Amino acid sequence: MQAVMTPEEVTKLLDAVFPQMHAGGRAYSIDGITDGQAVVRLTATDVHLRPGGTVSGPSMMTLADYAAYVVILAHIGPEALAVTTNLNINFLRKPGPGDLLGSCRLLKLGKRLAVVECGIAGEGEDDLVAHATATYSLPPR
């Protein structure tokens, strides 16, 4: 599978279709896109944190969904937009302070469905704080 869009192109497209991602400040950014893979960063602001400074579960679910979109769009191009049909997430460990990185890889990019796997870890950490898989319906292209 070959990437056909750059991080800048994907960011511009997603800013238009998901403007609410940046409520509270621009927290999600694309660290990189390679063939079959993408890494998305969450730099948490107050709206993403629980008391004590831990990134909330919903923020991690949002990171997984957004990161999966990034890797799909980067490989199908800007003409079509995927729709999430299923997301399954396991929360493994309490996140520490600092940025979280969602590292996604495309398990399948078919005619009608794409499936993505996403591991979420603190920057520089090996142990995952969460792991998700998700399926997206793709319009005809």
Binding site for its own copies (CB under 8 A): 16-20, 23-24, 46-51, 56-58, 61-62, 65-66, 83-93, 107-108, 112-113, 115, 117, 128, 131, 133, 135, 137
Q: Considering beta carbons, is residue 38 or 132 the nearer one to its own copies?
A: 132
Q: Considering beta carbons, is residue 112 or 141 the nearer one to its own copies?
A: 112
Q: DSSP secondary structure string, the chain? A: ----S-HHHHHHHHHHH-GGGGTTS--EEEEEEETTEEEEEE---GGGB-TTSPBPHHHHHHHHHHHHHHHHHHHH-TT---EEEEEEEEE-S---SS-EEEEEEEEEE-SSEEEEEEEEEETT-SS-SEEEEEEEE----
In the complex, minimum distance from the CB of residue 117 to its own copies, in angstroms, rounded to a whole number: 7
